[in-house]
Structure 1
Amino acid sequence: MKFQRRLKPQVVVDLTPLIDVVFQLVVFFMVSSVFNTSPGIELELPESSTTTSVAITEMIITVENRDTVYLNSIPYTMETLPDAVASFEFDPTDEGENVVLESAKDIPYQMIITILDVLRYNGYDAVSLVTLRSEVDE
């Protein structure tokens, strides 16, 4: 005699472990991603063997060429840069806040000094210069 089961086996897929794994992968990739703060301007930066990391900041000045200077992603000329820096809302007295200055390696030294003077005149004394790490042959 053949008996039939009254209860049919129910197959239930538990999605909780799958959701946990996907969430952990999303968090891993978010934490391990490198965020580029430059405004999309390609520069050939000067090299230095003593380069250190620069903290992310709200004020980045990029010198692309002799005619164009970017304050974050907005282009200015050397004549309009002082007014833009003066009107920029950034507190230079905050601990750990500094201005990041990056320029192409063929920019004249006098232009960098002029930008540093504009920054110091407006109270920005902490300025970090961006360079590429060069390989030292020993």
Structure 2
Amino acid sequence: MNRLGSLRGSYGLDSDRSDIEIDMMPLIDMIFILLIFFLVTASFVKESGIEVNRPEAASAEMKEATGMIIGITPEGYVFIDRNQVELRRVRGLVEIFLTENSDGGVIIDADGECPTSKLIAVLDQCRLAGAENIAVSASKPKG
């Protein structure tokens, strides 16, 4: 037997290589830990779920949607999270949102043709719920 053959025999290298396995459990555990981390740290945005024609404002600024979005249609219907809600439910839903996201804001996405009284009523309900960071969405004029 040559020298390489004696080394293989002493280290058990001449056995069949088909019994070598890679333990995947630590990798799977790490993936689950990362998944849980991203789910816990992610901030979820509640959208209104409707398309509106925003009024134009020269002072409009682009901001990230970091909170609850309340949509108001031209007919005055209020939508939160793709569901039509009555005005009396807005305050409770905003309170729930603020308990889950203490630094979250509320964006009122009102159509340019919606009744002003409905916009003011929704704004009032948000303030009564304790929201301090409230914005009304608008778009910059083209041109």
Which range, TM-score by smaller chain?
A: 0.5 to 0.7
* Number of residues of Structure 1 aligned to a counterpart in Structure 2: 99
- Work out the CA distance in 1 between the residues paired with 2:47 and 2:93: 18
Could you say what secondary structure the match of 2:98 adopts?
Answer: coil
Partner of 2:142: 135
1:129 counterpart letter in structure 2: V
Q: Which runs of 5 or more residues in structure 2 are unaligned?
A: 1-45
1:48–1:133 Cα contact (<8 Å) kept: yes
Partner of 1:12: none
1:92–1:123 Cα contact (<8 Å) kept: no
Pairing 1:109–2:111 present? no
- Work out the CA distance in 2 between the residues paired with 1:58 and 1:90: 9
Partner of 2:107: 100
Structure 1 residue ranges, 4+ long, deviating more than 6 angstroms after superposition = none
Pairing 1:70–2:63 present? no
Q: Alpha carbons of 1:58 and 1:52: their partners in 2 closer, same or farther (altered >3 Å)?
A: same
C-alpha RMSD of the superposition: 2.7
Percent of aligned pairs with the same residue?
Answer: 18
Cα deviations by residue, 1:98-130 (Å, 9 ceiling, x for unpaired): 211111101111111111110111100211111
Higher alpha-carbon Rg: 2
State the TM-score, normalized to the length of structure 1: 0.59
Q: Alpha carbons of 1:120 and 1:39: their partners in 2 closer, same or farther (altered >3 Å)?
A: closer
1:47–1:132 Cα contact (<8 Å) kept: yes
Partner of 1:124: 131
- Work out the CA distance in 1 between the residues paired with 2:120 and 2:92: 17
1:60–1:99 Cα contact (<8 Å) kept: yes
State the TM-score, normalized to the length of structure 2: 0.57
Compare the two structures and name the one with the higher helix fraction.
2
2:49–2:79 Cα contact (<8 Å) kept: no
Q: Which runs of 5 or more residues in structure 1 are unaligned?
A: 1-36
